[in-house]
Chain A
């Protein structure tokens, strides 16, 4: 089953950043400096740069994981500077899908239960979410692994479970933070292929943080960062 068959085509979410700055330690450690960014709804953007450049912080701000300190971020019509608490949680649940380098799976739950977890937060009925979780896992090629726990899966399989979970609530924006950072070459190719297929099939906007050139090369556009600023080339 293709992922397009699970949800049909989705619209992406435009991402607009204006004057975004961020610092840790009560302003003592600035990490982002006055950043602007425009990603159209069908965008597939790679954010690259060395470690400590601010890529993950930027992704966290766009995903609503980190409170905005200055500037503005608008994603699919949501002005993140006006959201907090439950509203921000609702934004993350309804609009954004996250894929982490460390997979972020709950180790006491099976593959299907991990995918169901996102749907449980949306108060979907147990029967409906079980069916959807199985279809999503089928879509990422893991129909034979639905009852396995994360520690019983390979790195590539874990990442595919994480991708299925990220897609559970039909997100318009998929954020991937070093999605291949823990994978071998062959598995990296498979996961990148899967992300591309998702982008193509569902129409969601895709932002990938990576420091690997070959990963960035698969994106339609590449934005490079150094010390919290955009750099050319």
Chain B
């Protein structure tokens, strides 16, 4: 009997015994659904947790500050800055050339005075920092857009604000979009000497439209602007003098850098190299390492649960096919009586098992992805209520493929025992008990 004939017979068998086949398919589908849903959620949760630790930026990022490193810097994840130290474009190039470095992104902050739109009960002016970043390097920066977008690269009229600004303005953090489109005035100071030698202050004022709300950890500050804006502020400040107290001249080209290492294993090496160059650094090395251990434990536990589900599904398939063998003893005997060989009988049962597995796997994978997405919606609702960025649930193609093919393969394996038992039945079953 050819495989094509065997498949036709299997199709006839499963369609005719629809009720029992449907129950078996359902058992496989439920197990597959559990597996796929768990896998999808675990993968998403893992990336989400790690990403949250890195504040939206690459997990392999090392933050470098324009300051000397204090002793014992490498023993802690946190920044331990000592005296200020200029960080120039040449220094950035040297760091970029270090082994294990994928990219660097520069950050330049500026002290600013912000005048927000007038509203009763909120501050009329805010002393804060503007965080200037090269928007084209945003993927390498620890910045997550919560609403709207980042300012256009090079724009001198757009700004993104953090949730700290929303808090100051007593706006609902659950509705970050409400601030979009409003404008603020931002002034950067310059200290100048009046005629007669008296120091005074004046500002470089710009009107900025708020285009986005972000969570960011690139540098301290509630206003994210294109780096061209803070460079203009720096140039403006350098046109004046230092007051020797509140405002010093911003001699450093960058306030800091975000250095992306090739891999997690390279993070410590890169950090040590930057430390040798004399700059203060921070990276969530210990935190990530511990998290990865905990997440691995979670993976093992969930994998165990999924394995139990698979074993139950396998037993379901085996049981259903063994019942089919018992029920069809006489049919099998007749098949052998008319000349079927053992392998012909096996070919009758294996495609049936494969069909059950494929149908159950397909149904279960679709169900599992759907369940994962529903869970994702619920989680997103919770995260948004907490003022956090939601998750983007993606069912990896590997999980979908493994769900369907794995269930099919598992069904064939589970069906092998009943099929073998059927093949070994004696031909005398055709005439019943003698």
Contacts and interface: CB of A to CB of B under 8 A. Distances in A.
B431 A56 contact: yes
A109 B9 contact: yes
B2 A123 contact: yes
Q: Which of A66, A92, A97, A177 has the most CB of B within 10 A?
A: A92
Contacts of A122: 339
Contacts of A168: 338
Interface string B1-44: 11001000100110111000000000000000000000000000
B330 A104 contact: yes
A125 to B, nearest CB: 10
A92 B434 contact: no
A89 B331 CA distance: 16
A169 interface: yes
A117 B2 CA distance: 11
Contacts of A63: 337
B336 A92 contact: yes
Interface in B323-374: 330-331, 333-342, 344
B431 A94 contact: no
A101 to B, nearest CB: 8
Nearest to B12: A108
A107 B426 contact: no
Contacts of A60: 427-428, 431, 434
Nearest to B17: A108
A118 interface: yes
A86 B344 CA distance: 11
A123 B434 CA distance: 31
Interface residues of A, number: 39
Contact of A121 (B1, B12, B432, B434): B1
A106 B334 contact: yes
Contact of B431 (A65, A86, A121, A165): A65
A120 interface: yes
B264 interface: no
A68 B311 CA distance: 42
Given A92-B339, A120-B5, A121-B339, A56 B430 contact: no
A98 B331 contact: no
Interface-central residue, B15, B335, B338, B340, by most chain A CB under 10 Å: B338
Contacts of B12: 108-109, 113
A57 interface: yes
Given A109-B12, A120-B5, A89 B434 contact: no
B411 to A, nearest CB: 19
Contacts of B330: 102, 104
Interface string A59-76: 110011110000000000
Contacts of A59: 431
Contacts of A56: 431, 434
A3 B267 CA distance: 85
B13 A90 contact: no
B431 A108 contact: no
Given A104-B330, A106-B331, A123-B2, A118 B428 contact: no
B427 A65 contact: yes
B430 A24 contact: no
A107 B339 contact: no
A89 B340 contact: yes
Contact of A90 (B16, B334, B339): B339
A12 to B, nearest CB: 19
A93 interface: yes
Contacts of A107: 16, 331
Interface in A22-61: 24, 31, 56-57, 59-60
Given A66-B426, A89-B339, A120-B1, 11 more contacts: A60-B427, A60-B428, A64-B427, A65-B333, A65-B428, A92-B336, A94-B339, A100-B337, A108-B12, A121-B339, A177-B431
30 contacts: A56-B434, A64-B427, A65-B430, A66-B434, A89-B336, A89-B341, A89-B342, A92-B336, A92-B338, A92-B339, A93-B338, A93-B340, A97-B338, A100-B430, A104-B330, A104-B331, A106-B331, A107-B16, A107-B331, A108-B13, A108-B17, A117-B9, A117-B335, A118-B339, A121-B344, A122-B339, A165-B338, A166-B338, A169-B338, A177-B431
Interface of B: 1-2, 5, 9, 12-13, 15-17, 330-331, 333-342, 344, 426-428, 430-432, 434
- The 8 lowest CB-CB distance pairs between A and B, nearest first, are A93-B339, A104-B334, A108-B16, A65-B427, A108-B12, A120-B5, A89-B341, A65-B428
